Structure 1
């Protein structure tokens, strides 16, 4: 563990992010998590049309955005609208690919069959484990059937079986303990050691918003560097630790998080749909903050290079095109080739 920690302190001061844009097929969700600032009730919001999505994406083609995050509320698996919901997500991924982007889908709980189908049109996918302690089913997840820990872990394992490059993470400050952090991180590490498919683990502090159902206190941000160091000791070194910079509101704290072992800032776009009260910082603003301690912010792709062979031929071609663009953009970064 000590050697692992030392390697992060002495490694090159490179921090990555993905130039991204989020597309939301629907905000409706059958879960009712107490802290959620994203969802609407089923039937209370229109679904995104492909025509509208195409208009949005066409405007982004000249803005250097490589990742399209397909982020959706969940339609119940037994709903008569489930098939239409899944088709919309699949079609949005196909549309993004056809316009030259790299899709990454996070649509909650999916079946093995659905994941297998989406693998063909996504370079990577994701699902937050959040916390695996069952006690949260009596509190913040009391009305959230898809937050059953075994269900979420099953999807993590299916992603490994299907060789889907995957992002997962912990939500901090929703009623869990330090022991719960350890248990969740250890399970993630164990699943990765079996399949080798987890690219990143997000450590996301719960940040109160204006739309959540219950007035929950936010996570103590001063504790975040300690959690990062804690996670760095447990997770395999090849898994990047990601933090959302718009939720880490103090420059000195952001720098402390990097010193503790965080190396990625996730997808940065116009709006954080999950935390709409916390706007994304512009990448140049972040670069200026990081430069205060000699960190360099460089763009990356939504799929890490070690997973290139897991992609289909079509996705490999898209990857290569974007890889060349990113390498060119990073040509002054001394370790750009090592990253990509």
Structure 2
């Protein structure tokens, strides 16, 4: 039995108790290190018209329920600028699939705006947002051909398309995807493959509880893994649990149990191993955050302080402090990331014209910057260096940091990796390191600070370099 085969993972899933599966998943996840990430975003619903009729969806609307079929450019920019004020770094464009193929109203509105297709309009709105606000666009336009994908690559750092399920059975009459041509698994897998061919970091995943079997979930995940093995472009897998909503055909369909979600998360980690980023939406599972962490995730996805979750409006985003507390209580650091993961910042994963915007938002590790301090430009120290904040940081949940600090206090030289870990500390870890460094300074040198009077003699002011801070 091959270790990457459906039968192999079916046997593991059927024969292993849930607590053991979760433990195996945790061990794999923990090899990545301690951060659990999130992306601070705004949600821009460019159009809520859609040619598909998924039986569980409340995002899609009919034209008569919308002021305009498409958001206007000033509305798009208003959302993005509110995000900029709140230090968001991601602009998530989510929209219905090709509504102009179904609705005359969509065709007419595009014509009024001066565009031939939704993709054309999305291109310009994405370009507008990144140029005016610096927020990094992550696009969810649905299924596309290779030409559309290559065009949108010029104005986005990553894209997303949920596979949901690779089972064609769900597209048959009575299934949740009946009447939705873009939910054909072959079409969605083709788009995911074309995104790989175009070198675009992709977020994809499965939706559980819509009538699929556990075996079909595993099969869907293995289809994604097959494409990732070819192109290396899947930056993240989402396991999203179905939530029944009023006024939908599936309003009486029971949601998957917590145990079912934890089983699927654990199996996803086992299938994809240590390196893959695994997300579970926190706003859909607020009562189960500790168990979700214990199932091998390392990401909470996008969280917005500005906009609601238009796909799940009944489930508000968690407060970031609450999410941080839940994460810290399990021994992990909550760390902000960008719409593109650190692993994809190097190489040819997005258009060269976007690199200045990406580097402006990222720190040296490829995660999101946690302050606006700029070397040689900023006159005030960053808030993270405020003595009133870090002087009170008497502890951290990071055991690795604890061990390194104890080693330093024992007068043992730190190795390269340990020093790097201290330099890369952020948030509560950084405050703890600063506090302990100050304590060590006091023990070694006391409270006397020396200085020397010196003179700087310039022998020339001519230099061939153009350092930005000089």
- 1:6 pairs with 2:27: yes
- CA deviations 1:61-83 (Å, max 9, x no partner) are 22110000000011257467383
- Residue 41 of structure 1 is matched in structure 2 by 62
- CA deviations 1:99-122 (Å, max 9, x no partner) are 211000001111211111000000
After the TM superposition, which residues 65-80 of structure 1 pair with which residues of structure 2 at under 5 Å, given as runs? Answer: 65-76=88-99, 78=101
- Residue 304 of structure 1 is matched in structure 2 by 341
- 1:232 pairs with 2:269: yes
- Residue 59 of structure 1 is matched in structure 2 by 82
After the TM superposition, which residues 234-249 of structure 1 pair with which residues of structure 2 at under 5 Å, given as runs? Answer: 234-249=271-286
- 1:287 pairs with 2:310: no
Bigger relative CO (Cα 8 Å, ≥ 6 apart): 1
- Residue 128 of structure 2 is matched in structure 1 by 95
Deviates further, 68-77 or 194-203: 68-77
Q: Distance in 2 between matches of 1:6 and 1:218?
A: 28
- Residue 151 of structure 2 is matched in structure 1 by 117
SS for the counterpart of 1:260 is coil
Identify which of 354, 368, 384 aligns with 1:326. 368
- 1:126 pairs with 2:190: no
TM-score normalised by structure 2 residue count: 0.67
- Shift of residue 288, structure 1, vs aligned partner: 1.6
Pairs aligned (count): 337
Q: Distance in 1 between matches of 2:51 and 2:370?
A: 44
Q: Distance in 2 between matches of 1:7 and 1:217?
A: 31
SS for the counterpart of 1:274 is coil
Q: Quick check: 1:9–1:259 contact (8 Å CA) kept in 2?
A: no
Q: Quick check: 2:43–2:92 contact (8 Å CA) kept in 1?
A: yes
- Shift of residue 211, structure 1, vs aligned partner: 4.1
Deviates further, 237-246 or 163-172: 237-246
Q: Distance in 2 between matches of 1:105 and 1:10?
A: 30
Q: Quick check: 2:89–2:136 contact (8 Å CA) kept in 1?
A: yes
Stretches of 4+ aligned residues off by more than 6 angstroms: 1-4, 330-334
Is there any run of 5+ residues in structure 2 with no aligned partner, and where?
Answer: 4-20, 111-115, 372-383, 391-397, 402-420, 427-470
Q: Distance in 1 between matches of 2:244 and 2:101?
A: 31
1:317–1:338: structure 2 CA closer, same or farther, 3 Å change rule? farther
- 1:149 pairs with 2:182: no
Q: Distance in 1 between matches of 2:424 and 2:97?
A: 38
Q: Distance in 1 between matches of 2:272 and 2:32?
A: 17
Deviates further, 177-186 or 329-338: 329-338
TM-score normalised by structure 1 residue count: 0.92
- 1:22 pairs with 2:56: no
Structure of higher CA gyration radius: 2
Deviates further, 152-161 or 310-319: 310-319
- Shift of residue 84, structure 1, vs aligned partner: 3.4
Q: Quick check: 2:77–2:128 contact (8 Å CA) kept in 1?
A: yes
Q: Quick check: 2:39–2:90 contact (8 Å CA) kept in 1?
A: yes
- Shift of residue 337, structure 1, vs aligned partner: 4.7
Is there any run of 5+ residues in structure 1 with no aligned partner, and where?
Answer: none
Identify which of 199, 203, 210 aligns with 1:163. 199
- 1:202 pairs with 2:238: yes
Deviates further, 284-293 or 61-70: 284-293
- Residue 256 of structure 1 is matched in structure 2 by 291
- Residue 169 of structure 2 is matched in structure 1 by 135
